[in-house]
């Protein structure tokens, strides 16, 4: 009987997604560049949770351009603290501009 999987399906930490996009607070606004970091079991859940968090922050619309999984912990701010927040179960939204 095999006690340990011989692939990388079991992770020590949750998957931390980064979603890059633009959010709009009003219909005619220029938009704000965003990076969203959060833990989720899959990309569909990550997108849903990101959109819910943006809505709670007052965004009425968002264009999400890219999604990926972070393979290493960022060392530079603001991504380092956002990564820690994601590990703690928060949806971290970084606004640029």
Q: Tokens 């060392």 correspond to what residue?
A: 75
Task: Say if residue 49's pLDDT is above 80.
Answer: yes
Q: What is the pLDDT of residue 14?
A: 85
The kind and range of the H/E element at 3 are none
**Global pTM value:** 0.85
d(CA 20, CA 10): 26
How much helix, strand and coil, in percent to the nearest 5, is found in the chain?
A: 25, 30, 45
Q: Which two tokens stand for residue 31?
A: 């938009």
Q: What is the pLDDT of residues 25-38, one digit of tens each?
A: 998 889 999 999 99
């Amino acid at each position: 009987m095999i006690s340990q999987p011989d692939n990388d399906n079991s992770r020590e930490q949750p998957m931390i997604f980064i979603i890059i996009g633009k959010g709009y607070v009003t219909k005619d606004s220029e938009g704000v560049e965003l990076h969203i970091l959060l833990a989720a079991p899959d990309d569909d859940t990550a997108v849903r949770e990101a959109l819910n968090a943006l809505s709670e922050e007052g965004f009425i619309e968002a264009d999400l351009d890219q999604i990926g999984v972070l393979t290493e912990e960022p060392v530079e701010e603001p991504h380092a603290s956002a990564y820690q927040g994601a590990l703690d179960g928060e949806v971290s939204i970084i606004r640029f501009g």
